[in-house]
Amino acid sequence: MVVEHTFITTLPEPDALRMAWELLHSRGFTPLPAAELAARPPASNAVELRRGRPNPDRARSIVELPQFVRVEWDRGRVVVAASITPRTWMNRQYTPGTIMTKPINARQPDQENLLMAVIWALEQLLAHRRPPAECVAGLDQLQAQLIDKARRGRRKGWLIVGGIVLAFVAFIVFAAKTFK
């Protein structure tokens, strides 16, 4: 999923890109690996960062899915492109922390909201000049909700598996006592 947003800032290029880098870095985003930078040299007026696990199959929540953000400054116009790589299995999307899947082209509101929260934090910082702590408050709250939702989903899955195993053991014990 890719989300792109454009807004205007009066900050000069070095300040805008530095502030965007600092905000994203404070939320776990890191520069691209050297192999990717060698393949395509970075633009002088852009910042590209990523976070999350390299493999979406290892993600335990939506927050841990691979995410990529590019912030480009062009004469005061800031273009933010953010993407997230969903976990797929057998041509279906799997949301970490749940046992349900969706078609590959179905909308994922939680992923959309996470990307929009990152973009909104950048816009608040660069266009509206809010303090960084205020800018990321909504993002932090959403991330905490997504992590908790995934944790509850995993717990529910384990309880279902435990109930099935317990029912199977009870059936075996019942059958052993009945048909002695």
Give 21-79 as a DSSP string: HHHHHHTT-EEPPHHHHHHSPPPTTEEEEEES-SSGGG-SSGGGS-EEEEEEEETTEEE
As a whole-number percent, the residues of the chain with pLDDT over 70 amount to 95
pLDDT band per the 50, 70, 90 thresholds, residue 128: very high
Residue-wise pLDDT tens digits, 69-89: 999 999 999 999 999 999 888
In a domain, 168, yes or no: no
For 141-177, the pLDDT digits (tens) are: 999 999 999 999 889 989 999 999 999 999 999 999 9
31 in a structural domain: yes
- Domain extent, residue 101, equals 2-154
pTM: 0.86
Domain-located, residue 70: yes
Q: What CATH number has the domain bearing residue 123?
A: 3.30.310
Q: Is residue 175 part of a domain?
A: no
Q: How many domains does the chain have?
A: 1
